Amino acid sequence: MIVDNGKRRSLVIAGVFDGECGESEGVLSFIPNLFGKPAVTARGGLLDGDPVSLSIEAAPDGRFFTAKYRRIA
């Protein structure tokens, strides 16, 4: 069996997350490591140093979050 865990990206979401996240098929996944609440406070961040707009959703288990992103030109 081949498992694709995606690639690692640098993600910064002010007050919510700062570190490496996973990306697979254009969706980011991360476990918050700061104090903010992702679905409530976060609308954007930096992905590999570039500004992005984020649409964040909690995963079914509520432990980690996924985010679709769009680069801001």
Give the pTM. Answer: 0.82
Q: Whole-angstrom Cα distance, residue 37 to residue 66?
A: 13
Residue 38 domain-assigned (yes or no): yes
Mean pLDDT of 7-36: 90
| Distances in whole angstroms, Cα of residue 73 to Cα of each of 32, 47, 69 | 26, 13, 13
Instruction: Give domain status of residue 7, yes or no.
Output: no
3 or 65, higher pLDDT: 65
Residue 57 lies in a domain: yes
Q: What is the pLDDT of residues 25-65, one digit of tens each?
A: 889 999 988 876 766 667 899 999 999 999 988 877 778 88
- Whether residue 8 is contained in a domain is answered as no
Q: How many domains does the chain have?
A: 1
Tell me what pLDDT residue 28 has: 93
Confidence of residue 69 (pLDDT cuts 50, 70, 90): very high
Q: Domain of residue 40: give its range.
A: 15-71
pLDDT (average), residues 9-31 = 92
